[in-house]
């Protein structure tokens, strides 16, 4: 069944390049980013895994644990790691799940039979510390993901979890934000001491409150 925003992220046990894991234990109290790859030794996936490894410190800074998945074996993943290091210049520094029997792919609906019967699509799930799903993204095999966008959404999710704001089009960390309609003008004056611009009753802009 498809995973929807607000659903509890399914827990699972799996074999990975870092040994056996339980997903919830791996996440602990952190945010999580789970992403699937169609297959080992494929070009786009090779660049993506190098890309995630190169940005791992940026996920760490956001208290987010990353974990990849592909439907091949641990032995295959370990061979592939050498190519990732050689061609992308960064060694894998997070676990890659070996989902040979598709039990994780099935739990997260990562196989879309009308796209491909056996390979996973490029799914991304952001999971909050409460283990609820906060974001789902699905890309086709032919399109590599944009890691900057995943980090940007994490920034937005973490900001909006703590303040009564939402983030506008193309927002990035440090830009102005929108005060949610749940906050009255009167309350906004105290909650957002930097002030706000009222463009419409429903559209009030304020500097990012935690900057």
The footprint of ligand BEZ (CB under 6 A) covers 38-39, 42-45, 119, 141-142
Question: Of 16 and 70, which has the nearer Cβ to ligand BEZ?
Answer: 70
Taking the least distance from each CB to ligand BEZ, the nearer of 93 and 118 is 118
Residue from 3, 45, 96, 98 carrying the catalytic annotation: 45
Round to the nearest angstrom and report the end-to-end CA distance of the chain. 40
The CB-of-2 to ligand BEZ minimum distance in angstroms stands at 21
- Least distance between ligand BEZ and beta carbon 102 (Å): 16
CB of 11 to ligand BEZ, least distance (A): 27
Q: Which is nearer to ligand BEZ, 27 or 96 (CB)?
A: 96
Find the Cα–Cα–Cα–Cα dihedral 118, 54, 85, 109, rounded to 10°: -10
| Minimum distance from residue 99 beta carbon to ligand BEZ (Å) | 15
Structure tokens, 105: 């792919």
Closer CB to ligand BEZ, 42 or 180, in the complex: 42
CA 108 from chain centre, in angstroms, equals 14
How far is the C-alpha of 63 from the C-alpha of 29, rounded, in Å? 9
Q: Decide if 45 is catalytic.
A: yes
Contact present, 84 and 15 (Cβ < 8 Å) = no
Distance from C-alpha of 79 to C-alpha of 93, rounded to nearest angstrom = 15
So which residues are the catalytic ones? Answer: 45
């Amino acid at each position: 069944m498809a995973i929807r925003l607000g659903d509890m992220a399914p827990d699972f046990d799996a074999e990975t390049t870092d040994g056996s894991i339980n997903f919830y234990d791996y996440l602990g109290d952190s945010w999580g980013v789970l992403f699937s790859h169609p297959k080992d030794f494929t070009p786009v996936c090779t660049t993506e895994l190098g890309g995630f490894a190169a940005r791992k410190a940026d996920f760490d800074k956001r208290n987010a644990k990353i974990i990849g998945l592909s439907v091949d074996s641990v032995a295959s993943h370990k061979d592939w790691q050498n190519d990732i290091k050689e061609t992308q210049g960064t060694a894998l520094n997070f676990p890659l799940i070996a989902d040979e029997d598709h039990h994780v792919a099935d739990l997260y609906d990562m196989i879309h039979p009308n796209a491909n019967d056996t390979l996973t699509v490029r799914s991304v799930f952001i999971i909050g510390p409460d283990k609820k799903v906060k974001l789902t993204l699905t890309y086709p095999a032919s399109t590599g993901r944009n890691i900057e966008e995943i980090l940007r959404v994490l920034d937005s999710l973490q900001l909006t979890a703590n303040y009564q704001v939402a983030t506008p089009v193309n927002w990035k960390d440090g830009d102005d934000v929108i005060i949610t309609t749940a906050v009255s003008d009167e309350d906004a004056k105290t909650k957002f001491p930097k002030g706000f611009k009222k463009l419409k009753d429903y559209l009030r802009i304020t500097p990012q409150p935690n900057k």
